Amino acid sequence: MNIRLDIEYDGTEFFGWQVQQNLPTIQGHLEAALQQVVKSRVILVGAGRTDSGVHALGQVANFNLDSPGRIEPWRWKLVLNSMLPPTIRIVDSRAVPNDFHAQKNALSKIYEYRVLNQPCASALDRRVYFCPRPMDWDAIRRALPHFIGTKDFRSFKGAKADVVTTVRTVTRFELIEDMSRRGLYVFQVEGSGFLKQMVRTMVGTVMDVGKGLRKPEDMVDIIRARNRMAAGRTMPASGLCLVSIKYQ
């Protein structure tokens, strides 16, 4: 039986999604809980390997059980939640066709990067990057369309990431002013897949436009450079959240 999990987590205290020896990770906590229930090693496939400190509202993962099992699919969320730290919650669990693969079947991923642009940080919202200096948000908005399309995003790839190709497709890159809080700006990015630190570096580069250090049209040359040195800084993880994964 193939079980799909929809997972929410506060990434602050974790060393990212992927299992690492002796470090707390989300996959590590989940596989340990599964192993305790099933009494044998269970491999969990996650849709996106979020980095250290990155949050998720809609991470998706799946695992296969040889036997049909004593636990009904919808009950897995209750079983796992009773064993997990409160900063990891299984929002949904259900049976899916045997060929469902959380990573390979994903059509697109939606990330949000949230910036709180006000003089002081927030005491209540842990899912933001706090930016006290005034920003030209209209200029930033004009920089975003340059990223849309199938392009070589090598300029935005984290140094340590080994990949076959650095070509990716970005279908949406928008800036939304969240009216629930003054000064809260949300970047929404959708694409078939992203390189390591790509979203955070895209946001770091367009934030330079907001500071007046670059022009919106500079994005063309930065992308064309295929060189990490051409782009801006990688934004801190706290503002990034994997919002949802789209499947067929």
Measured from the CB atom, the residue of 109 and 146 that comes closer to its own copies is 109
Q: Phi and psi of 114, rounded to 5°?
A: -105, 130
The secondary structure of residue 198, as a DSSP letter, is H
* Active-site annotation holder among 10, 51, 92, 162: 51
Measured from the CB atom, the residue of 11 and 232 that comes closer to its own copies is 11
Measured from the CB atom, the residue of 32 and 220 that comes closer to its own copies is 32
Residue 124: exposure state from Cβ atoms within 10 A (0-12, 13-18, ≥19): exposed
Q: How big is the CA angle at 8 (ends 19 and 62), to the nearest 5 degrees?
A: 55
Q: Are 205 and 231 in contact (CB under 8 A)?
A: yes
For 139, residues 6+ apart whose C-beta sits below 8 A from its C-beta are 209, 210, 212, 215, 216
Whether 92 is a known active-site residue: answer no
Binding site for its own copies (CB under 8 A): 8-10, 55, 57, 77, 81, 86-92, 118-124, 126-127, 178, 180, 241
d(CA 220, CA 10): 35
Residue that is written with structure tokens 């006000």 in the block: 118
- Going from the C-alpha of 136 to that of each of 33, 218, 234, 235, the distances in angstroms are 47, 16, 19, 17
User: Whole-number minimum distance, CB 74 to its own copies, in Å?
Assistant: 9
User: Whole-number minimum distance, CB 104 to its own copies, in Å?
Assistant: 26
Measured from the CB atom, the residue of 64 and 118 that comes closer to its own copies is 118
Active centre residues (catalytic): 51
